[in-house]
């Protein structure tokens, strides 16, 4: 998936070099295990993401943000823009498949995957001062259908 996303970034006009990825130490109490920063690339918190599987998931999540930033010139200060990319990253990265697997057999709730994405979107938006108060939830709900159903660059959610 990382290779595929790198190819798609290249096609979209934003080639990804090896130096795009960096392992960094992240201070405690951070919600995220990684970050994407325009012009800088993808950072992975090496003190939080230790297993290869975790590192892969963080990189895939952040590459979806990078892809969105490349194709849509996202305004990260706009809570709805940020929410849209978090919905897509949460949905398409498989962040929530893993949890669903774990929960399979314990919980048979319909929509478990979507609930997981919603929770993670809210966690990510809590770090954005432009999403304060009810803005985070309102923004997420406003863009949910469009962004959850937008699976580019995949034909459908992997
Ligand atoms: Zn994110």
- Residue-level pLDDT at 115: 87
35 Cα–ligand 1 center, Å: 7
For the chain, which residues score pLDDT lower than 50? Answer: 106, 108
pLDDT of res. 7: 97
Task: Round to whole Å and give the CA distance between 58 and 51.
Answer: 11
Asked whether residue 153 is assigned to any structural domain, the reply reads no
157 within domain boundaries? no
- 62 as an active site residue: the answer is yes
Total number of domains constituting the chain: 1
pLDDT computed for residue 108 by the predictor: 46
Residue 136 lies in a domain: yes
- Active-site annotation holder among 53, 62, 101, 123: 62
**Cα 83 from Cα 102, distance rounded (Å):** 26
Amino acid 135: pLDDT: 98
Give 139 Cα–ligand 1 centroid separation in angstroms: 15
Q: With respect to residue 158, please indicate whether it lies within any of the assigned structural domains.
A: no
Instruction: Return d(Cα 113, Cα 125) in angstroms, integer.
Output: 18
**Domain assignment of residue 116, yes or no:** yes
Give me ligand 1 centre to Cα 64, in Å: 8
Q: How far is the centre of ligand 1, averaged over its atoms, from the C-alpha of 108 (Å)?
A: 27
Q: Which residues constitute the domain of residue 119?
A: 2-148
Residue entry with tokens 């498949």:
97
* Cα(111)–Cα(100) distance, integer angstroms: 10
In total, the chain counts a number of residues equal to 158
Q: Does any domain span residue 96?
A: yes
Q: What are φ and ψ of residue 49, in 5° steps? A: -95, 100
Query: Within a domain: residue 118?
Result: yes
Q: How far is the CA of 24 from the centre of ligand 1 (A)?
A: 17
Output the pLDDT for position 104: 54
Distance separating alpha carbons of residues 35 and 44, to the nearest angstrom: 7
DSSP one-letter code for 129: G
pLDDT for the residue 33: 87
Q: Choose among 150, 95, 157: nearest CA to 121.
A: 95
CA of 65 to the centre of ligand 1 (A): 7
Tell me whether residue 156 is in a domain: no
Please count the other Cβ atoms lying within 10 Å of the Cβ belonging to residue 58: 22
pLDDT at 32: 74
């Amino acid at each position: 998936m990382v290779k595929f996303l790198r190819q798609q970034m290249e096609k979209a006009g934003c080639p990804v070099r090896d130096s795009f990825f960096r392992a960094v130490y992240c201070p405690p109490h951070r919600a995220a295990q990684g970050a994407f920063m325009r012009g800088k690339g993808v950072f992975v918190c090496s003190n939080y993401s230790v297993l290869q599987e975790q590192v892969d998931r963080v990189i895939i999540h952040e590459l979806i943000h990078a892809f969105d930033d490349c194709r849509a010139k996202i305004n990260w200060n706009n809570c709805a823009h940020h929410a849209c990319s978090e919905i897509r990253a949460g949905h398409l990265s498989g962040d929530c498949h893993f949890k669903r697997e774990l929960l399979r057999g314990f919980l048979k709730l319909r929509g478990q995957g979507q609930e997981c994405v919603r929770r993670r979107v809210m966690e990510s938006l809590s770090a954005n001062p432009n999403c304060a108060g009810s803005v985070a939830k309102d923004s997420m709900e406003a863009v949910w259908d469009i962004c959850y159903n937008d699976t580019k660059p995949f034909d459908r959610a992997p």
